[in-house]
Amino acid sequence: MGKVTINTGVTNSGTGFQHIRIASCLPAGNTTCTDTITWASAFADTNYTAVCTLDAIAPVNARDVVLTTDLKATTTMHVRERTLNGTAVTGGNLDCIAIHD
């Protein structure tokens, strides 16, 4: 099996690989909020694996945030964010990558 080498950027509108960055809903201390991810192109089905992370959030000690996904469809997916330590989170983006299985 060969290796895959990516020498340039990857567009976010592929049907096998997609990525997106949106402003996070940012939950207040000990609460939950939900972001809706809308993919640029529909996946063929819901057999894709998605991973999301938060970046540029403050304060620094507010890193106890849990991300879960639900309601995954071919064109959208929900990401729920919950803080665990009672600290309200500010700023931040939700970065997601999805690869069709």
Separation of first and last alpha carbons in the chain: 17
Per-residue model confidence (pLDDT) at position 9 = 59
User: Concatenated DSSP letters for 45-83?
Assistant: SS-EEEEEEEEEEESTT---EEEEEES--SSEEEEEEEE
> Rounded to the nearest 5°, which phi and psi values hold at 54?
-105, 140
Q: pLDDT per position in the chain (101 positions), as tens? A: 566 665 555 665 667 889 999 998 877 777 788 999 999 989 989 999 999 988 877 766 655 566 788 889 999 999 988 777 676 777 688 899 998 88
Domains delineated in the chain: 26-100 (2.60.40)
Q: Please give the torsion angle defined by the CA atoms of residues 51, 56, 57 and 63, in that order, rounded to the nearest 10 degrees.
A: 60
What Rg value do the Cα atoms of the chain yield, rounded? 15
